[in-house]
Structure formats: C-alpha cells, structure tokens
Amino acid sequence: MGTHDSPHCPRSTPADRRRDAVRDVLGVDDEQAAITPDVRHGRSWNRDGVAGRELSWAAGDDGPSTAAWLLRPDRPAESAARPAVLLMHAHDGVKFYGREKVADGPDGVPPGVAELRTRGYDGLAVATGLVQAGFVVLVHDVFPWGSRRVPWPELPGRARSAGFTAYPPGPDTPDVRRCRYEAAAREHENGLAKAATLTGTSLAARIVAEDLRALNVLLATDGVDPNRVAAAGFSGGGARVAHLLACSTRPRAGVITAMMSTFADVADGRADDTTWLMITPGLPAVCDWPEVAACAAPRPLLVQFARNDSHFGLQGMRDSESLLRRAYDGSDALTTQWFAGGHRFSAEMQVDAADWLLCTV
C-alpha cells in the first residue's frame, strides 16, 4: 500500500511555536504538568544489588491506581542525591504486564515475561542495568497496561470474541487466560483509540498525562537529584519519551530506542503494525514525528536505530535522522546510534544507552 505526497501533512511548524502546538494536540497545560499525586508505599526488597520499593498513586481518572517500582543501588550508607531515569515500558504486544517487562519486582519474573525479554531485550531487565550503572529508576504502568489494564469483564464483546477465537474455551490455565486476554486487548486497542478521538482526545494524550504524574513523583523522591533526571524507553516506550520531552522541560535528557521514523514511512504500509502511541490525530498537522522528539532541543537526546527494524523502513529512519539533525542545527546535544538487527532493545543498545546517560545526566 502506498501513499501520496501532500504539502499539507505532515507540516513543519516553526520551532519556536512547535512545542506549544504539540502540547495543545496532547491536551497538556501548565496546571496539568504541575500535578504531583500522593504516593502510597508498599513492600520493599533487595536483590542483585538493587533495593526496590512498591509505589502506587491515583492515576487521575476513575480507573485503578498506577502501580510502580522505585529501584535504587543497594547502598544504604550513601547520602548523596543520585541521577535518575524515568523508564517507560514498551507496548510489546503485551498489555497484561507493564512495568514487569523491563524491571524485576518483589516476586521475581512473572509467567511469560522471560520469553518476552528473550525476544526483545536479550533476556535482560533493562531497569537492573540502569540501577547497576548508578541510577535511581522509576518504572510505572500506564493505561491500558499492567495495573492499569482494562479488566476482562469490562472488555466489549467483540474484543472478548477475538480472545476466544484465538484461544477457544477448554482447559482454562493461567497461561491460556493470559494469552486470551492479550488477543482481546489487541482488538480492544483500536476501540480505545476511536473512543478517545470521538471525545476530543487520544490514547497518547491520556498516557502522557500519566507519565507527567510519574515524572513529578520521581522529581520529588528523596535521594534523587531533580536536576539530573532523564527519560528512556524502547519502542512504544520511546514514543512516550518523545511526548514527555515535548510536554515538559524538566527531564534533562532523553533516550528513544527503535521508535524513530517519519509519518510518511509509517503510512506507507506500516501503520497496521505501529502503536497508537505514535499515531495521534492532529499531530501530523503540526509537525513530523522526529520534530516531536526534537522539541527537547537543545536538551541532550539519544536516538538508537535498528537497521533491520520491521516497524520502519530504512529510508524512513534515515530521513528521520536528517530531520533530527536539522532541528538540532548541528548541536552536539543530539546523538544517533545505529545497530544491526531488528526491532529490539539489545544488550549492546542497553549498555550504550546507560553509558550515554552517565556522561550526560
């Protein structure tokens, strides 16, 4: 399926007006950006040099609370404030879990996550590597993943039918129920995006509002240097980073992994495999996708590309790199890295991202 070129979409709003225009599309204003929720604390644990704590807070809607994990280097005698990373979990085609995909909690690795990490993360928990590099890490669920997922009884009939079609009634093991849920949730995401559009918003707008709350939680956390906080994410998590950087000036830097191309590239036969986190009504009328991320300029930004990324075309990724460089106007604050392989956050990419953050934040 091809697309036609249009001089009207995507547009390129002048840089001095772009941030306000993107924020307007995402429905973010200064008051919303300033919301810091009351945080509830749960269990603590220590494992592999990581000291963890369960957190939760109201998500700002009528749904379940946001569940999160705060992870620190296990050095209790230390008093100096540390740099921190707000780590965004990805889409991964898995909504039953959120934070569990990139971090280990008090109960270890849940069923199905080891396989997911093998497929997309070289078997690693991304958060553990960042903590071992010296960062405090906050990873939280957002709608509709993990603790913020839509409960099975609340899914519409069409979505539940898709789940039963993929996994017919029979032996109802926990694994079967989880896989059935994923098939249903995959169908339901389109309905959620339609409903959001009809009510004048978008999935991306709802999620960035939750990410702004999480950012405020991290900035207010004891032992975190609020002037040294970054955001990082792979795939759909990278889309969340781009939106957060456009909507807030408080993160000092950002890392976007395997989530950078142009809207034209996505429209040219790849939209069906692209998360709604990147496809937001009204946004292409403001600017192209790389220019959303470049709203961060001149703050440091690392963008990691996978040469054989199945989600994007090579030319689209190269075009996006050119747009990023133009937006940063030759500034050394922009770093781009290219890696062999497909759509994944490999061990090599994780190490390079942590090293870049250490040098930058």
Q: Which of 355, 13, 86, 331 is nearest to 232 (CA)?
A: 86
CA Rg value for the chain? 19
Q: Start-end ranges of CATH 3.40.50.1820 in the chain?
A: 34-148+202-360
What count of other Cβ atoms lies within 10 Å of the Cβ of residue 334? 22
Q: Candidates 3.40.50.620, 3.40.50.970, 3.30.465.10, 3.40.50.1820; correct CATH number of 34-148+202-360? A: 3.40.50.1820
Q: What is the pLDDT of residue 8?
A: 58
Q: What angle do CA 347, 350, 356 make, to 5 degrees?
A: 140
Q: What is the pLDDT of residue 6?
A: 53
User: Mean pLDDT, to the nearest integer, of 325-351?
Assistant: 95
d(CA 79, CA 205): 37
Q: Which residues contact 124 (CB under 8 A, 6 or more apart)?
A: 117, 347, 350
d(CA 226, CA 251): 9
Range with the poorest average pLDDT among 67-71, 76-80, 244-248, 356-360: 76-80
Q: Which of 205, 220, 208 is nearest to 39 (CA)?
A: 220
Residue % of the chain over a pLDDT of 90: 85
**In the structure encoding, which two tokens stand for residue 281, read together?**
């009504």
Average pLDDT, the chain: 93
Which residue type, as a one-letter code, is found at position 222? D
User: Mean pLDDT, to the nearest integer, of 264-268?
Assistant: 94
Write down the residue that tokens 């090293």 correspond to. 355
User: Mean pLDDT, to the nearest integer, of 60-87?
Assistant: 91
Q: Do the beta carbons of residue 171 and residue 192 sit within 8 Å? A: no
Q: What is the pLDDT of residue 9?
A: 62
Q: Which residues contact 84 (CB under 8 A, 6 or more apart)?
A: 135, 136, 137, 138, 218, 221, 224, 225, 228, 229, 230
pLDDT beyond 60 at 343: yes
User: Mean pLDDT, to the nearest integer, of 13-25?
Assistant: 90
In this prediction, residue 2 has a pLDDT band, given cuts at 50, 70 and 90, of very low
- Rounded to two decimals, the pTM is 0.94
pLDDT tens, residue by residue, 89-128 = 999 999 999 999 999 999 999 999 999 999 999 999 999 9
d(CA 333, CA 299): 6
Residue % of the chain over a pLDDT of 70: 97
Q: What is the pLDDT of residue 1?
A: 32
Q: What is the DSSP letter of 249?
A: S
Write down the residue that tokens 């890392």 correspond to. 255
Residues in the chain: 361
The secondary structure of 16-35 as a DSSP string is HHHHHHHHHHTT--HHHHT-
Q: How many helices (H) and strands (E) does the chain have?
A: 12, 9
Q: What is the pLDDT of residue 32?
A: 73
**In the structure encoding, which two tokens stand for residue 174, read together?**
């926990």
pLDDT beyond 80 at 245: yes
